[in-house]
Amino acid sequence: MNYPTKEEILNALQKSGYLFEQDVATEFEKLGYHVDTNYAYNDTDTDKSREIDVRAFKQIYKNDELNAHIYVEILVECKNSETPLVFIEREKNKREQAPTPKEYIFPFSEYHKRVGENKVSLHKPFQYLNLSRHHYHYKESNKATQFAKIFRKGRDWVANHEGIYDSLILPQAKLLEYRKKDIINYCRNDKQKVVWLFFPVVVLKDYLYSYDLTKDDDNLTEKKRISFVRNLDAANLKGSYLVDFITFGHIKNYIQKEVEKFSGSIASLIEEDKEKNLILNRESR
């Protein structure tokens, strides 16, 4: 019987992506995150068990006096492919500059702001706290509207998006909704004031590009992170979902300068506003 050599076995493992997933998990562990690899969840469409490559979790803020906590949870799909991904970008419209993201859970689903002696207006947390000014994607002027993989077909290079939305975006949206069901009741317990921030992420080995329609020249540029918002309309998935695409070499900067910087801005709001406690109380004072 013909058996593979050690070199052939290692080459097969490298091409498969299994080792890449472990490398990604190790990068998150180095940054202080608790990591689960091949994290299982229930696909509500099929009622079957599915897996995501890496789940990374960390408590980034705790205030015992206020009983306030902030948790970050990264949901990671790994793509060990040398096929470039190119995102087409254009300017955001006004509606997209006032978002209500699904990925972030606050102590209350709505906040009340007094507009008169006996009247209050209702606000979603992200807008109520004006968090767009702190968020790495929502404070950007551009948005990614489409993306495609670039691959060789015969003698030509072609761009095609067939299958990649379903393979990359849908699993992230399904897992997000699965995790939110577990977390929402815990976050909205009167005894604790919990902010839970989910970050769905696709980690690429490399080859991430943007084609910017707002530029007259040099439209195609290499990127380290591109955030993509996809609107879904299915039985169990409705609304817009944000997924960050990052390269492997950008993991540390993404976590420290984007994810944790945004998370830290929420912690600062709690610390700086203990008298009003805008986050910890449903109604502003």
Check residues 210 and 98 and name the one with the higher pLDDT.
210
* Confidence (pLDDT) at 166: 82
Strands 85-91 and 208-212: parallel
Q: Is residue 100 part of a domain?
A: yes
The per-residue pLDDT for range 196-219, each reduced to its tens digit, is 999 999 999 999 999 999 988 889
Integer angstrom CA distances of residue 66 from 190, 232, 274: 12, 37, 8
Mean residue pLDDT of the chain comes to 89
pLDDT of 222 above 80 = yes
User: What pLDDT, in 10s, does the model give residues 162-192?
Assistant: 888 888 899 999 999 999 988 887 777 667 7
36 assigned to some structural domain: yes
Q: Is residue 48 part of a domain?
A: yes
Contacts of 22 (CB under 8 A, 6+ apart): 37
Q: What is the pLDDT of residue 60?
A: 96
Residue scoring higher pLDDT (225 or 112): 225
pLDDT band at 65 (very low <50, low <70, confident <90, very high): confident
Question: What pLDDT band is residue 275 in, cutting at 50, 70 and 90?
Answer: low
Is 285's pLDDT higher than 60?
A: no
Domain count, the chain: 1
Percentage of the chain modeled with pLDDT above 90: 54
In a domain, 281, yes or no: no
- The answer as to whether 285 is a domain residue is no
Q: Which 3 state secondary structure label does DSSP give 193?
A: strand
Which residue in 85, 232, 230, 247 sits closest to 161, CA to CA? 85
Which among 111, 46, 143, 63 has a CA at the least distance from the CA of 278? 111
The whole-model pTM stands at: 0.92
pLDDT(91) > 80? yes
The pLDDT value given to residue 12: 79
Please give the average per-residue pLDDT across 16-28, as a whole number.
91
Residue 37 lies in a domain: yes
pLDDT (0 to 100) of residue 121 = 87
Residues spanned by the domain of 112: 6-272
- Residue 280 falls inside a structural domain: no
Is residue 277 situated within a structural domain?
A: no
